[in-house]
Amino acid sequence: MYHNCQRFCCFLFAVGISFMTLAQTDLPIDKKATPETIHLYHNLKKLLAKGIMFGHQDDLAYGVGWKYETGRSDIKDVTGEYPAVYGWELGRIELDHTENLDGVPFDKMKQFIHDGYERGGVITISWHLNNPLTGKSAWEPAPGTVAAVLPGGEKHALYKEWLDKVAVFLNSLKGDKGEFIPVIFRPFHELNGNWFWWGKSHCTPEELKKLYQFTVGYLRDEKQVHHLLYAYNTDRFANTEEYLDRYPGNDWVDVTGFDIYQRGKDNAGFIKDISRMLSELESVAKERNKVPALTEFGYGTVPDSTWWTSTFIKGLEGHHVSYALAWRNAGSKSATETEFYVPYKGHASAADFIKLFQSGKILFQNKTAKEYVYRQ
């Protein structure tokens, strides 16, 4: 009896030690990350076994047919629950504008980020920053832009000033107890596409890697921002080699992701593509001990009323990624253009979205809140 007890105690001790060692060694790339950020990092990994968190860009700010109604969300209107992940966007903060490029005032955004965080939601932030060389938009590439931004380049000082503004905003994100709100920051997203100035045909892999590394190093080591996890984020990719072509290295990335949109009616093609890319992403993340995520997805205006169960869930079947972030429900953008990626109340795919919600495979806020992702 005594021996058994002694053995059991030894076992518990060993388990305790290995857990502690894991918790201490498995740190995000920022070794000075705040406790909440470290817990989030561990819990994102732990939650991989439980399901995929559903995310939505600008969810609390507006939806189809409404803007800035306290507590409202198209996801909540349809399912009764908020998403588990909230995406926000910093474009134009670099210009000292009070609103981002999609018209969301930064002071309101701070409040929304706080509200989502206090509900146990996960926050991720993108940045469609202007072209620092030309002063035009992120979508207007010019040769030499990345080189100009790197140390020694003619726009390097300007780029640092822009990062200073990003740091001020990030440092203003605080929870009720005064703690910093952890953020998954995903700069230079869709980096293997050609539509942004940091895109594939506008810089070499080495330049992109340096840009990414400089950005992380500046925020983390110069500005001492310690509540970020960093996402490396491509668009669709043909194979793992392409995915990793511009990967800045394991010391610079916490989350590996890609963005994917369905553009036509080929549901089977979308399922095949997303499933293949998710498998490759999962391998990449596993080999490097990173968190895999579907950093953006969507089928614009969801023109297929059963797309959620016939296609989306099928594409994700059997895959373990942390979250899937649907892009924004901008609503009517002009007389001829409407943009949304999740159903609003009354939309033809709303009933099917409820089936997705009820399937239990996708986690909404009610499930993640119980997981206390910011605690051990």
Q: How far is the CB of 297 from ligand BMA (least distance, A)?
A: 12
> Segment 51-90, which members bind ligand BMA (CB under 6 A)?
89
Instruction: Pick the stretch among 35-43, 114-122, 322-330, 360-368 that binds ligand BMA (CB under 6 A).
Output: 322-330
Q: Is 352 helix (H, G, I), strand (E, B) or coil?
A: helix
Q: Which is nearer to ligand BMA, 116 or 298 (CB)?
A: 298
For 317, other C-beta atoms within 10 Å of its C-beta total 11
Q: At residue 83, what are phi and psi to the nearest 5 degrees?
A: -65, 170
Q: Which is nearer to ligand BMA, 128 or 320 (CB)?
A: 128
Q: Which is nearer to ligand BMA, 328 or 347 (CB)?
A: 328
Closest to 354 measured CA to CA, from 96, 80, 13? 80
**140 contributes a contact to ligand BMA by CB under 6 A:** no
**129 contributes a contact to ligand BMA by CB under 6 A:** no
Q: Which is nearer to ligand BMA, 334 or 376 (CB)?
A: 334
CA angle (298 as vertex; 293, 299 as ends), nearest 5 = 150
Q: How far is the CB of 104 from ligand BMA (least distance, A)?
A: 9
**102 contributes a contact to ligand BMA by CB under 6 A:** yes
- CA 57/CA 308 separation, integer angstroms: 18
Q: Is 190 a catalytic residue?
A: yes
**342 contributes a contact to ligand BMA by CB under 6 A:** no
**101 contributes a contact to ligand BMA by CB under 6 A:** yes
Tokens found for residue 262:
């369905």
Residue 341: what residue type?
Y
Q: How far is the CB of 199 from ligand BMA (least distance, A)?
A: 14
Residues 1-40, one symbol each (x = binds ligand BMA by CB under 6 A, - = not), give ----------------------------------------
For 332, other C-beta atoms within 10 Å of its C-beta total 12
Residues 6+ apart with CB under 8 A from 24: none
Residue 329: what residue type?
N
Q: How far is the CB of 281 from ligand BMA (least distance, A)?
A: 21
Residues 6+ apart with CB under 8 A from 137: 101, 128, 130, 131
Instruction: Pick the stretch among 24-32, 72-80, 327-335, 350-358 that binds ligand BMA (CB under 6 A).
Output: 327-335
- CA 136/CA 28 separation, integer angstroms: 34
CA angle (124 as vertex; 217, 70 as ends), nearest 5 = 140
**328 contributes a contact to ligand BMA by CB under 6 A:** yes
Residues 187-226, one symbol each (x = binds ligand BMA by CB under 6 A, - = not), give ----------------------------------------
Q: Is 241 a catalytic residue?
A: no
Contact (CB, 8 A) for 242 and 233: no
Contact (CB, 8 A) for 215 and 170: no
Closest to 53 measured CA to CA, from 370, 361, 372, 374? 361
Residues tagged active-site: 190, 296
Binding site for ligand BMA (CB under 6 A): 89, 101-102, 128, 327-328, 330, 339
